[in-house]
Structure 1
């Protein structure tokens, strides 16, 4: 509906409706201090929002197609967005300017995540690969072969040592970003895995799928802890609280679900 909604998870009530985009909102990220949000849209722009005053701070232009994913560094100074135009854009949220345009291995970029220290980003694309990026030198560090039709989603642990990706082949893959190798392949979903998030301590991942379920994974034992049912449509997004106790998911049926992990 072209809007963002801000929710109070104590009262479970809507705090604000943010208007500015003129097409579907495809992605959103919140800074660690909770003061800033960045959203991407089919209108080919990113919007930066002040969550104190609930107003738009800036409109970031540069992508030539839809930015499907956006992430904010832990210090709130940098945002990275991935787009259908096959690029990653790195943004300075102080000056509201573009710092770099990074080109990967071809294909639309569906997902991006930034490590806690803001030094590394990982992106997933239609090219069946994950790209690991050094945000200091703005160069590609490694290319990880996913070997599925598409890497729909990716998340990085806060310490930057582990990434988890979700794919068209119904699986999740766990990656060691030190050795740039695959640690595990997690099976359980019956359809494509469209979204994944990792808890602050890096021990738990939560994934959402077109099979209308969420799965909770133990990243130490590499086993499934739970299958969460409730949505009646594709699970399109998921986020985990910093303490790892709560998850919030969105679906194609216009609802958000709040989960006790």
Structure 2
């Protein structure tokens, strides 16, 4: 049944307040694959319905739908008032949030633009066996990073000084120098395809086909631990405060303690695979606030608070 066994979870567990459902963002007419935060309580989503939507978390409503892609939108990222969206039409579109229009289309991929991440200079887009690097100012393709043998479904950036780009493909994770745009290391990973990567301080988390989350030391790229709990492939990860969140094909979100890597809570409401998770760290009144996007066409918001009683905006 819904939230099986969740009723027993105390109000706080190991010092963490329980996450509760607080509302939904309704409007997509297909699976939702990507989420990004635009600051100021604004969330961006990309869907199989071909649209990129801009939402207000204050009113839980859609402010605008960007249309123009000729295929599913698989990934979205936001930088400095611009939305970047990667699509099954093999392009990346750039949208101006204020002007509400498409200001550039990046062409060059010969397959789906399936993952996106942005550094201070470049846009990195993952596709079949390769990563394209685009200049953030001119939107020109600077180079193509090769070496993967399969889809590059996961990209992450370590934003610390001397940080790296991490890319995940089939049974492998590669580490790239952000200045030289060269591969500095590739490690074999068990578990098949890597669907999501996330950097948190000196750790890299990878979500994989085999239902596990692997924990890597970013300095050595040695695998330190594997986290078990999900019953199906893990597709999405995010971190908020001292908590890690994971979303899976098993339709559940798991909440983990970052220090002990223990599962604290399971969130059940979605009726489909959870393909994207987003942490929103500047919501007043909440300790933790996350957004989840699913193949069931829904986007749900979840939060915890030690300051106030949480009541859903709507169900």
1:206 deviates by 1.2
For residue 143 of structure 1, what is the aligned residue in structure 2?
186
Of 292, 300, 305, the residue aligned with 1:249 is 292
Per-residue CA distance 1:206-243 (angstroms, 9 max, x = gap): 11100000111222111112211110111111111135
User: Which structure exhibits the higher relative contact order, with contacts defined as CA atoms closer than 8 Å and separated by 6 or more residues?
Assistant: 2
Distance change >3 Å, CA 236–CA 256, structure 1 → 2: same
1:104 deviates by 2.3
For residue 155 of structure 1, what is the aligned residue in structure 2?
198
CA contact (8 A) 1:8 1:15 kept: yes
1:240 aligns with 2:286: no
Of 88, 112, 126, the residue aligned with 1:82 is 126
1:144 deviates by 2.1
For residue 68 of structure 1, what is the aligned residue in structure 2?
114
Per-residue CA distance 1:97-127 (angstroms, 9 max, x = gap): 112210123111111111224841111112x
1:187 deviates by 0.6
1:112 aligns with 2:158: no
Per-residue CA distance 1:158-184 (angstroms, 9 max, x = gap): x4x221111111110111111111122
Of 23, 34, 44, the residue aligned with 2:71 is 23
For residue 105 of structure 2, what is the aligned residue in structure 1?
59
Between Structure 1 and Structure 2, whose CA radius of gyration is higher? 2
TM-score, structure 1 length as denominator? 0.91
CA contact (8 A) 1:207 1:214 kept: yes
Of 245, 261, 265, the residue aligned with 1:222 is 261
1:83 deviates by 0.4
Distance (whole Å) between structure 1 residues aligned to residue 264 and residue 134 of structure 2: 37
CA contact (8 A) 2:130 2:148 kept: no
For residue 181 of structure 1, what is the aligned residue in structure 2?
222
Per-residue CA distance 1:109-148 (angstroms, 9 max, x = gap): 111111224841111112x011111111111121122111
For residue 191 of structure 1, what is the aligned residue in structure 2?
232
Aligned residue pair count: 251
CA contact (8 A) 1:176 1:182 kept: yes
1:9 aligns with 2:57: yes
Distance (whole Å) between structure 1 residues aligned to residue 182 and residue 191 of structure 2: 24
Distance (whole Å) between structure 2 residues aligned to residue 133 and residue 141 of structure 1: 5
Deviating more after overlay: 52-61 vs 240-249: 240-249
CA contact (8 A) 1:184 1:222 kept: no
Structure 2, unaligned stretches of length 5 or more?
Answer: 1-48, 305-315
For residue 138 of structure 2, what is the aligned residue in structure 1?
95
Match of 1:259, SS?
A: strand
The two structures, once aligned, show a CA RMSD in angstroms of: 1.6
Distance (whole Å) between structure 2 residues aligned to residue 105 and residue 170 of structure 1: 22
Structure 1, unaligned stretches of length 5 or more?
Answer: none
1:123 aligns with 2:123: no
